[in-house]
Amino acid sequence: MDNKLIADLFAEIAAMLSLDDKPTIRFEVRAYQKAAQTVSSLQEPIEDIYKRGGMAALMELPGVGKGIAGSIEEFIKTGRMSKYEMLKKKYPIDMKGLTSIQGLGARKALALYKALGVKDIPTLKKAIAAHKISKLEGFGEKSEEMMQKGLDLLASSSGRMLLGEALPVAEEIVSKLKKSGLVDEALVAGSARRMRETVGDLDILALSGKSAQVMKFFEKLPEVEETIAEGPTRTAVRLKIGLNCDLRVIPVESFGAAVQYFTGSKDHNIQVRTISVRKGYKLNEYGLLDRKGRIMPTKDEEGIYAKLGMQWMPPEMREARGEVQLAQRNELKMPVELKDIRGDMHTHGRDKDWNTDPLPQMAGTAASLGYKYFASTNHTKSLNVENGMDEKQFAAFFKQVDALNRKLDGRIRILKGAECDILKDGSLDLDAKSLKSMEWVVGSVHSAFNQSEQEMTRRVVKAIDSGLINVLGHPTGREMPSRDAYKIDLEKVYEACERNMVALEINAQPKRLDLNDTNIMAASKYKVKFAISSDAHRTPQFGYMRYGVGTARRGWLTKDRVINAMGLKELERYLEI
């Protein structure tokens, strides 16, 4: 899938263009930024869109005009993008790598290049090690410390990729295998199936009696960059997105056991194998073997767990956190599913806003997903970079929402809201009168991330105690892999949410997934509800909901704890609107 590659090129083009001081350049920068976001959020390969309708189909995508469509076409046909190559000659800097470091934007990256010859991560490391950056005007010791922290964070996630980037590629490969006619079944296994927030590699299992043909087909897929190892039942390749991927072809009598084994996790499997031994069996990737060493055929993994006297467990729960013991007692509660979601509680959509799709377009997509409602929660005034709105702008915008709701005639309801900034002192970015007029308010931190734990906790708790917000947005503020969670006492936050009936958000943006699974499990001990939200700025991003649901399932969250699993009438009663 070339989506990520093209999106990365557009993002880097935007960064390089932003270094130009021409007054009109900002429009071109925004165009490439929007194109990058559009392409990265597509739920199908952009090459398929092009094959289906050529340049015209590309130009139907939000933010893709003739010039950008031409660059996409050029890349699909040649693997090159002349606009990118031209700018790269002017700025021979790894802009994508450097700007992924917290506190290092495009202009600072250029300044480091001019002053110290820093052009990529390795040369940045050398400059920091020699303490050269702290001596530069406009930087200083704090900047150098922040960059080192960013490098440490990047190193901790090295070799891993966001689930939202890796899973669509794995699913595309599975889809092509199924369409080939060579396999009876194929699925994604490993950490991607368990919906871990990042993955180090991909595992795909196929059921087929034509192993050799399947392997040849797999190696020739456009997603594959090179073959690392090949054999009759396993082939390992390097994908163009930068991950290794193993394909295993499994015989029918072993398929159920192989799916269980290769899904993991390792610790979960150890516990399950221990139980099989106690019952006189042996469990491995080849099957569940009886006392005489004969495979007990099971066509699926449900049969494996059943024969061991256990409930089947969703893959997301298999992390050896007590699920095995509960399953043995038949006490495992099934977590929320994607089909349970009735609406989206955090979206952005506004006419003439370069960073979002128009609200009617957002409403049409939400309705097509079967949603009964969604909250329109645009940014507030302090967030200038996102065209934040003030009190008067919200009042005028809500008149448009009312008109659109009348036009929709009950097919879907748009809730009037905002994503209101929680300012440095804990006050809110809009006045109380404006916030009280809204039906759903997301309170979020977007600045001053370096406050102490005490300061940040006091700040967030003050906002929760204000009585003016309904949900705390992306509660730890992380953006993987470039920004870690800010320091905050989450126990005090959960307590504040409980006493104020403020919900906690599970933000489904792949770079956030915030709250994460372990924090969800901790928060579930309190009497709080959760909202799983896509934070969609354009229509394809509604598809991010599945990553939020996957994270909720990893946190064992049940349907009854999720606000947007309510029907519209139940939600209206809950919100008293």
Residue 462, classified by CB atoms within 10 Å of its CB into exposed (0-12), middle (13-18) or buried (19+), is: middle
Per DSSP, 371 falls in state -
Long-range own/partner contacts, residues 122-126 (CB < 8 A, 24 or more apart) = 124/98, 124/151, 125/151
> In the prediction, which pLDDT does 468 show?
98
Cα separation, 280 vs 297, whole angstroms: 16
Beta bridge partners of 421: 444
Q: Which residues of the chain have pLDDT under 70?
A: 1, 156-158, 351-355, 385
Our CA angle for 221, 545, 380, nearest 5°, is 125
Q: Output the pLDDT for position 95.
A: 87
Q: Which residues contact residue 190 at a Cβ distance below 8 angstroms, ignoring those fewer than 6 apart?
A: 199, 201, 202, 203, 262, 263, 264
What pLDDT does 37 receive?
83
Find tokens 């409602």 and name the residue: 373
The pLDDT assigned to 157 comes to 65
- Look-up: residue for tokens 């199924």? 178
Tell me the per-residue pLDDT of 187-201, one tens digit each, with 9 for 90 and over: 999 999 999 999 999
Are 542 and 346 in contact, with CB atoms under 8 Å apart?
no
Read off the pTM. 0.85
Write b or e for each residue in 345-373: b if 16 or more Cβ atoms lie within 10 A of its Cβ, otherwise e.
Answer: bbbbbbeebebbbbbeebbebbeeeebbb
- Alpha helices by DSSP H, listed for 432-567, are 432-436, 453-465, 490-500, 517-523, 545-554
Q: What is the DSSP letter of 375?
A: E
pLDDT at 356: 77
Cβ–Cβ < 8 Å for 509, 542: no
Query: For the purposes of burial, counting CB atoms within 10 Å of the CB of 444, is it exposed (0-12), middle (13-18) or buried (19 or more)?
Result: buried
d(CA 344, CA 352): 22
pLDDT for residue 477: 97
Q: Quick check: 504 and 496 in contact, CB under 8 A? A: no
- Predicted confidence at residue 352, as pLDDT, reads 53
**Exposure pattern of 108-126 as b/e (b: 16+ CB <10 Å)?**
bbbbbbebbebbbbebbee
What would the DSSP string read from start to end of 253-315? GGHHHHHHHHH--HHHHHHHHHHHHHTT-EEETTEEE-TTS-B---SSHHHHHHHTT-----G
Domains and CATH numbers, the chain: 1-88 (1.10.150.110), 161-250 (3.30.460.10), 255-328 (3.30.210.10), 338-575 (3.20.20.140)
**CA-CA distance, 535 to 371, in Å (whole number)?**
15
- Segment holding 531, helix H or strand E: strand 530-533
Give me the pLDDT at residue 104, please: 84
Sheet containing 440-444, strands listed edge to edge, beginning at the edge strand earlier in sequence: 343-347, 373-379, 413-421, 440-444, 471-472, 503-507, 530-533
Q: Cα–Cα distance between 398 and 416 in angstroms, integer?
A: 7
Q: Using DSSP, state whether 79 is helix, strand or coil.
A: coil
